[in-house]
Amino acid sequence: MAIRIKARSGESVEQMMRRFKKLCEKEGLIKDIKRKEFYEKPSERARRAARKSVSRRVPREGE
């Protein structure tokens, strides 16, 4: 997964960096890097996934 950007005519380095950062954020790259920054035990990973799934399950009306 390579993110490539080409310099547009008259575009400054700061503008290119801003576009690059937005693309990285859109691809979820930054979130993934932060998540993998420290080792997470498999049990902690499973616990986090279970908590996430519980928060997604919202009771519907009539249930």
Q: Where are the domains of the chain?
A: 13-56
Rg (CA), the chain: 19
Instruction: Give pLDDT, residue 63.
Output: 56
Q: Convert the pLDDT of each residue in 22-49 to its tens digit.
A: 999 998 888 889 888 999 999 999 999 8
pTM of the model: 0.55
The answer to whether residue 53 scores a pLDDT higher than 90 is no
Name the more confident of 21 and 1: 21
Which CA distances in Å does 40 have to 12, 32, 33, 37, 52? Answer: 39, 13, 13, 9, 16
- Return the number of other C-beta atoms located less than 10 Å from residue 59's C-beta: 6
The answer to whether residue 60 scores a pLDDT higher than 90 is no
Q: How far apart are CA 60 and CA 63, in angstroms?
A: 6
Q: Is 2 helix (H, G, I), strand (E, B) or coil?
A: coil
